[in-house]
Each structure stands twice: as structure tokens, then as C-alpha cells.
A = this chain, B = another copy of it.
């Protein structure tokens, strides 16, 4: 059985390919596929973004080689950014709990 960490890495790959395979190039996310992925998988994060052009801006940030497609490496950088932000919140929460 895979460990929790191995399962997490498997999930990253599975989620990416679930949306990447929907249309056009099968191994990259188009703008529409990225939007679908974010709406389904990161809806809490997306709701916190007041800017209606958030997905477009994220697409522009992620697409470092400017080909209009987000590949797995570019996608992972989004997950990393969000995970690091979440972890900082988690640490702040734990410190607050320890003070009480």
C-alpha cells in the first residue's frame, strides 16, 4: 500500500491528467481546463479571490514558457505556492493554540 506521501504525489498527477486529457493537447492544461480544475478542486481558494480575472492571471503566472498551456511542472508550482501559504497559516494557528 502506498504511504500517505506517495498517495499525495499520486493525487497531484491524477488530478492534473484528469483535466489535461479533456481536450486538445493531452498532457497540458488549456486555459479552459485550468479553469475547470480550479473550480472543481480549488473552489475554496477561488472563492477567496475577489477578482473575476483570477484564473486568467494565474494562467499567465503559471505559463512560464508562454505557450498558452500549463504543463505538469508549471501546475506543480501552483500547488507548491498554495501548500506553503497553507502551511504558514497552520503554523500561526498552532502558535495561537499553544499560547492559550
| Interface positions of A (Cβ within 8 A of B) | 3-17, 27, 37, 40-44, 72-73, 76, 79-80, 82-84, 86-87, 90-91
Contacts and interface: CB of A to CB of B under 8 A. Distances in A.
Could you say how many copies of this chain the assembly holds? 2
Given A72-B84, A80-B80, A87-B72, A11 B16 contact: no
16 contacts: A4-B14, A5-B37, A5-B41, A5-B79, A6-B42, A7-B8, A8-B8, A8-B9, A11-B11, A12-B83, A13-B83, A13-B90, A27-B91, A76-B83, A76-B84, A80-B80
Given A17-B90, A91-B27, A83 B4 contact: no
B72 A6 contact: no
